[in-house]
Structure 1
Amino acid sequence: MLISVQALRALAAWAVVCHHFMQIFFDFHASGPIGQFFSSKGAVGVDIFFVISGFVIFLSTQNCDMPAGRFMVNRIIRIVPAYWFYTAVMGLLLLVAAPLLPHQVISWQNFLLSLLFIPSENPGGYGLYPTLNVGWTLNYEMLFYLLFSTVFMFQQRHRPLIIAAALFAVSEVLARSGVISRFYGNDIVYEFLLGIGIGIIYRKGWIKQGLWLPLLGIAVAVVTIYHLTPSERLLNWGLPSALIVLSCISLEPIFRGNRVLKVLGDCSYSVYLLHVLVLYLGLLAAQHYGLNPYGVFAVCVPIIGLGAWGSYEWIEKGLHRRMKQWLDNRRDSDTQQAIS
């Protein structure tokens, strides 16, 4: 993994943390330019995540042929355990502290559909959100993985076109005609293709290392995001996010070998899943004791960071390693039985 991409993953995750801090503590009614920026633009971290996801999945599967089922199992054991764990914790929090969190409601139907990555109306009445609200992005991720798993049936040079056609069919045909949930009719799904496109030009060696031109690209992207709303998400935020990813890859020599940034990137998924729980607990403490929101946030940040590190080591990496080893052993055993 490129350290520049790891650093950007971390930055995107923490931008989302700041965005949700402004939502949970201030209902997005913030004073000051920094608060207003994170209130209105912090969600762009999701767009950056999607572009990176397309980039990483494309590169990691190049020169690789595997059954679709094996690809999906690999993604499931990487994504699902941590998500299920934090969804369960969020469900427990909502059961215990429901009167104190009036906008957060839990139902068994929504909870079970959340675990299965099936979009459903949140019982709180604010849209198609799972029990752990940030999990809405994982519904798109799992769709992307499911569609991407089919490309291994085709020659490698055709795979980008196959996944593009599949995403178009799902978003523009099935979702808009009502065959599947309207949730998938969002043009944000095409941001995975932007990442695949970056992966293609990266493999061809067309991304040149530099300093001032990549920095200019990042500046242009940030200014564009600042002045545009996500009303047309792909154009207004998706393309600038792709430019940021592309520019960061060009800056790889600056980041190369930085172990701290690698660790921060490794922990970004757990930061994304964990932070809302910590912020809600911080809100309850602030309400009960009359604490300053920014002081509470200053305490929440290291808790999120340390919690995410532990989550990555014990749930993501540790559990993933054990599950993968078990699956590999079982696959080897089945192969030996078939031979004998």
Structure 2
Amino acid sequence: MMLISVQALRALAAWVVVGHHFMQVFFNFEVHSPLEYLFADKGAAGVDVFFVISGLVIFLASADKALTPWRFMLMRVARIAPAYWFYTLLMALLIVALPAMFPNDEWVLSHVALSMLFIPAQHPAGFGIYPLLDVGWTLNFEMLFYLLFALALWVRTSYRFWVVAGLLYLVCGIISPALNLAGGFYSNDIVLEFLMGIVIGMLYRRGLCRARAWLPLLGIVGALVAIYIGADVPRSLEWGVPSAVLVISGVTLEPYFKGSRLLKMLGDCSYSVYLIHTMVLYAGRWAAEHAGISPYAMLPVCIAVTALCAFASYQWLEKGSYRVFKRWFGMDDPTRLSRQKH
């Protein structure tokens, strides 16, 4: 069962990223106030929180469970891919139907295919190694992490951290730089944040994420201050370590979050918020320009549309597609796993 504290952090991270991209889409990161600076310069740290949470959740979800690597990957693909595929195709359709709304985007069939397969590739518009739905760059890292973690399922739970760490170092620290895989995409030190999440999961399972409320609250304040101040160090240190402190502090405060249906729902919808929000923001910018509306008058409209669409997306697209995939792959059949084990 998902920790409500983690759900709250997922929701917070998603909406911070929305604020970051609002500043990008509407203002090209030009800031005129401390709040604008906060979202423009620090909002991307929401992704780092996501990565730490991903390591934590995957470790806890697989600990002491009879999961084969193949079954684990099927479950992850069934959960993550359908919504991403849907919004990637929707993005392609919108670029064709409403090119004025997406003046900096274009699509090529081969690039769409690579995007759907989670293979990093240069965007046709030439602004870097991004999939067609550009927020999907994080999912390329997620899929690599899932694959390496799937291999680690062959060993006991207590050894999985070391196996994943070794595989990440091999792929991202040696093979990727040597072969220049995807232009060095996988050499990004952000992958270390998955390992931070695994460590938090190990501590949680051992009952070590307990303390009086003042300590995790102090950790949250310290982490936020560290993110705001920043430092001239690699991203995994500048934002990754504070993100890990945020997550472990949130987990430690779990007793205070239990039973909150609102926070659970906000967390449930966070993935769809992440996938949908840039399209909503581009549409909002186009509407604001044509109607002569202030960006800040359009912001609450974009927030409301994103929230409503994300809620519908989670209820019908995410949950519905997951049920279909589980039925197709027999993941609802408890005897199937038993047969696989023999």
User: TM-score per shorter chain, which class?
Assistant: over 0.9
- After TM superposition, the structure 1 = structure 2 runs for residues 21-36 of structure 1, keeping only pairs within 5 Å, are 21-36=22-37
Aligned residue identity for 1:98: P
Alpha-carbon shift at residue 325 of structure 1 (Å): 2.3
Q: For the residues of structure 2 that align with 1:144 and 1:336, how far apart are their CA atoms?
A: 26
Worse-superposed segment, 262-271 or 93-102: 93-102
Deviations 1:52-79 (A, max 9, x none): 0000000110101322111101100100
Give the TM-score normalised by structure 1.
0.95
- After TM superposition, the structure 1 = structure 2 runs for residues 113-132 of structure 1, keeping only pairs within 5 Å, are 113-132=114-133
State which of 262, 275, 278 in structure 1 corresponds to 2:277.
275
TM-aligned CA distance change 1:128 to 1:230, over 3 Å: farther
Map of 1:107 onto structure 2? 108
Q: For the residues of structure 2 that align with 1:67 and 1:151, how far apart are their CA atoms?
A: 10
Task: Indicate if the aligned counterparts of 1:7 and 1:265 stay in contact, CA closer than 8 A.
Answer: yes
Q: For the residues of structure 2 that align with 1:76 and 1:337, how far apart are their CA atoms?
A: 22
Map of 1:78 onto structure 2? 79
Percent of paired sites with the same residue: 49
Worse-superposed segment, 278-287 or 204-213: 204-213
Aligned residue identity for 2:32: S
Alpha-carbon shift at residue 111 of structure 1 (Å): 1.2
Alpha-carbon shift at residue 322 of structure 1 (Å): 2.4
Map of 2:244 onto structure 1? 242
Map of 1:45 onto structure 2? 46
Map of 1:262 onto structure 2? 264
Q: For the residues of structure 2 that align with 1:194 and 1:312, how far apart are their CA atoms?
A: 27
Q: For the residues of structure 2 that align with 1:335 and 1:189, how far apart are their CA atoms?
A: 31
Deviations 1:163-185 (A, max 9, x none): 00001111110111125221000
Residue 98 of structure 2: SS of its match in structure 1? helix
Q: For the residues of structure 2 that align with 1:248 and 1:333, how far apart are their CA atoms?
A: 37
Aligned residue identity for 2:227: I
Map of 2:216 onto structure 1? 214
Residue 278 of structure 1: SS of its match in structure 2? helix
Aligned residue identity for 1:220: G
Residue 67 of structure 2: SS of its match in structure 1? coil
Q: For the residues of structure 1 that align with 2:251 and 2:100, how far apart are their CA atoms?
A: 47
Q: For the residues of structure 2 that align with 1:172 and 1:336, how far apart are their CA atoms?
A: 37
Map of 2:327 onto structure 1? 325
Map of 1:166 onto structure 2? 167
Task: Indicate if the aligned counterparts of 2:79 and 2:318 stay in contact, CA closer than 8 A.
Answer: yes
Deviations 1:111-162 (A, max 9, x none): 1110010101111211101100100000000000011110121222221100
Alpha-carbon shift at residue 107 of structure 1 (Å): 1.6
Q: For the residues of structure 1 that align with 2:165 and 2:253, how far apart are their CA atoms?
A: 28
Question: What is the RMSD of the two structures over their aligned residues, measured on CA atoms?
Answer: 1.9
Task: Indicate if the aligned counterparts of 1:209 and 1:253 stay in contact, CA closer than 8 A.
Answer: no
- Residue 182 of structure 2 is aligned to residue 186 of structure 1: no
Residue 106 of structure 1: SS of its match in structure 2? coil
Q: For the residues of structure 2 that align with 1:165 and 1:335, how far apart are their CA atoms?
A: 28
Alpha-carbon shift at residue 100 of structure 1 (Å): 4.2
Unpaired runs of 5+ in structure 1? none
Q: For the residues of structure 1 that align with 2:4 and 2:116, how far apart are their CA atoms?
A: 31
- After TM superposition, the structure 1 = structure 2 runs for residues 140-151 of structure 1, keeping only pairs within 5 Å, are 140-151=141-152
TM-aligned CA distance change 1:156 to 1:106, over 3 Å: same
Residue 257 of structure 1: SS of its match in structure 2? coil
Map of 1:308 onto structure 2? 310
Deviations 1:29-59 (A, max 9, x none): 0211111100000000000000000000001
TM-aligned CA distance change 1:228 to 1:155, over 3 Å: same
Aligned residue identity for 1:298: P
Alpha-carbon shift at residue 288 of structure 1 (Å): 1.0
Alpha-carbon shift at residue 98 of structure 1 (Å): 2.1
TM-aligned CA distance change 1:163 to 1:230, over 3 Å: farther
Task: Indicate if the aligned counterparts of 1:209 and 1:252 stay in contact, CA closer than 8 A.
Answer: no
Residue 328 of structure 1: SS of its match in structure 2? coil
Query: How many residues in Structure 1 have an aligned counterpart in Structure 2?
Result: 338
Residue 120 of structure 2: SS of its match in structure 1? coil
- Runs of 4+ that moved beyond 6 A: 329-338
TM-aligned CA distance change 1:234 to 1:210, over 3 Å: same
TM-aligned CA distance change 1:99 to 1:231, over 3 Å: farther
Map of 1:196 onto structure 2? 198
Alpha-carbon shift at residue 331 of structure 1 (Å): 6.6
Task: Indicate if the aligned counterparts of 1:230 and 1:237 stay in contact, CA closer than 8 A.
Answer: no
